[in-house]
Amino acid sequence: MTMRHPLIAGNWKMHKTPQETEEFIVELLPKLAGVGEIEVLIIPPFTSLDRSGTLLQGKSLQLGAQDLHYEAEGAFTGGISARMLAACGCKYVLVGHSERRELFGDDDTIVARKLNAALDSDLMPILCIGETLSEHDLVEEKITRQLTQDLTGVGGKALAKITIAYEPIWAIGTGKTATPEVAQETISMIRRWIASHYDEAAAQGTRILYGGSVKPANAVSLLAQPDIDGALVGGAALVPGSFAQIVDAARL
């Protein structure tokens, strides 16, 4: 069976100036001593990426971006390309986060284009999928549609560079969390979909995270589930101490 190394990713959303980002990194780095096989990632706003990349050179803490444009360059005011992100030191980029889908109109066609733009620039996409509360009874239908459309044209070799994050939209920023059992059941279903559309080796090799009100108090029980390979953390990732506690939960 393929060994999947845990990934703990902190999505800061629209928080922290470059100076506040530097202070966070300086405080967090000593807390990550001895993380071993656990990969730890911060995802600051665009304005903090360049400074973060400089501070993290040669460090174990990885850097990611919250979004990207699907074009390489051009007249796209406000857009940020994959090449720009890579130049700042990013290894990862979020694609299809629920807030980009719900608030900014990223449909599955756009998500697929962004995913391929990231892959073309050797960035590792974290593909976010999930259902709203009203869709919860149809979660398999919603997840299946997202996976089918978002991964259009993605072969097995490219899939190996993609991390999937299951985020029930009803649990993001609400304080509600899917129970470990519900999260495990849905992520297991995602893995079965991969097996049926690629193969069992791809299914076992794909890293799948859970996101949605992950905190130090629930991280251990969530990360103990056999198919949950890490966490995409929101609010708790803004404080070095609480984020480090979630990283510690992945060590157990």
Predicted local distance difference test score (pLDDT) of residue 170: 84
With a cut of 80, say whether residue 252 has pLDDT above it.
no
pLDDT digits (tens, 9 = 90+) for 185-240: 999 999 999 999 999 999 999 999 999 999 999 999 999 999 999 999 999 999 99
SS3 77: coil
- The Cβ of residue 130 has, within 10 Å, a number of other Cβ atoms equal to 27
Domain ranges of the chain: 7-251
| Options 39, 69, 97, 131, the catalytic residue | 97
Model pTM above 0.85: yes
Predicted local distance difference test score (pLDDT) of residue 177: 76
Predicted local distance difference test score (pLDDT) of residue 171: 81
Predicted local distance difference test score (pLDDT) of residue 1: 44
Q: At what angle do helices 240-251 and 216-223 cross, to 10 degrees?
A: 20
Domain 7-251: assigned CATH number: 3.20.20.70
| Among candidate residues 64, 70, 108, 60, the one with its CA nearest the CA of residue 88 | 64
With a cut of 90, say whether residue 103 has pLDDT above it.
yes
The yes-or-no answer on residue 167 being catalytic is: yes
SS3 135: coil
Comparing 2-11, 74-83, 109-118, 201-210, the range with the smallest average pLDDT is 2-11
Residue type, 13: K
pLDDT digits (tens, 9 = 90+) for 114-125: 999 999 999 999
Q: What whole-number distance in Å separates Cα of residue 227 and Cα of residue 208?
A: 7
pLDDT digits (tens, 9 = 90+) for 124-180: 999 999 998 888 889 999 999 999 999 999 999 999 999 999 999 888 777 777 899
Mean pLDDT of the chain: 95
pLDDT range class, residue 64, cuts 50, 70, 90? very high
Predicted local distance difference test score (pLDDT) of residue 10: 98
Q: What whole-number distance in Å separates Cα of residue 250 and Cα of residue 39?
A: 10
Predicted local distance difference test score (pLDDT) of residue 246: 98
The yes-or-no answer on residue 136 being catalytic is: no
Query: Residue 187: is it exposed, middle or buried by C-beta count within 10 angstroms (0-12/13-18/19+)?
Result: buried
Predicted local distance difference test score (pLDDT) of residue 2: 58
